[in-house]
Structure 1
């Protein structure tokens, strides 16, 4: 089951380090300021904890804008799925 909701940025764990394009982050910041976040980031919920592996630019843009939450598409998953993402 997938649900979409706002999640506090501080509740999302980002276990993999990703390089972001500063120009893309800046562009997204402008867009989010003007029209809001249009596309949720994908989050895995494993044992009540949230993990983000995609949406790095949107996450960083919201962070730099000082937003407390980010719009997320949340999918519950077992620990085995989390381990596959970390492999």
Structure 2
């Protein structure tokens, strides 16, 4: 079991930390913060992948990521855009597929809020 030291800014009112299905840890402010990106675990089936049909992933890269995720967990969260409560993933395609193929139910995501106009811009 690993030991670690967690340093929390004095201005942070509340903080949660939990283990994830792939052995990584996530945490984040619960007090509202400054509206910037938040890192959370999301179920894979809640993330829409609108570009999945137009792009193919490198199978060797996916396999390497699967091995790495099994050994040390996901190191870099995928970027997700949240628009009106719906999550859209446009990056992290190889990491997403690696999680799918490993049968992991969730993936760590950096979520940014956007508008429908932002979403249209990403779909071009």
Matching residue of 1:19: 56
| TM-score under structure 2 length normalisation | 0.69
Kindly name which structure, 1 or 2, has the bigger radius of gyration based on alpha carbons.
Answer: 2
Residue 30 (structure 1) shift: 0.2
Matching residue of 2:80: 43
Unpaired segments ≥5 residues, structure 1: none
Matching residue of 1:52: 89
Matching residue of 1:6: 41
Moved over 2 A (4+): none
- Is the partner of 1:42 in helix, strand or coil? strand
Matching residue of 2:14: none
Q: Distance in 2 between matches of 1:3 and 1:84?
A: 21
Query: RMSD of the alignment, in Å?
Result: 0.5
- Is the partner of 1:50 in helix, strand or coil? strand
More helix by proportion, 1 or 2? 1
Cα deviation 1:16-56 (Å, max 9, x = unaligned):
12210000000000000000000000000000000001100
Q: Distance in 2 between matches of 1:66 and 1:26?
A: 13
Pick 1 or 2: higher relative contact order, CA cutoff 8 A, min separation 6.
Answer: 1
Matching residue of 2:113: 76
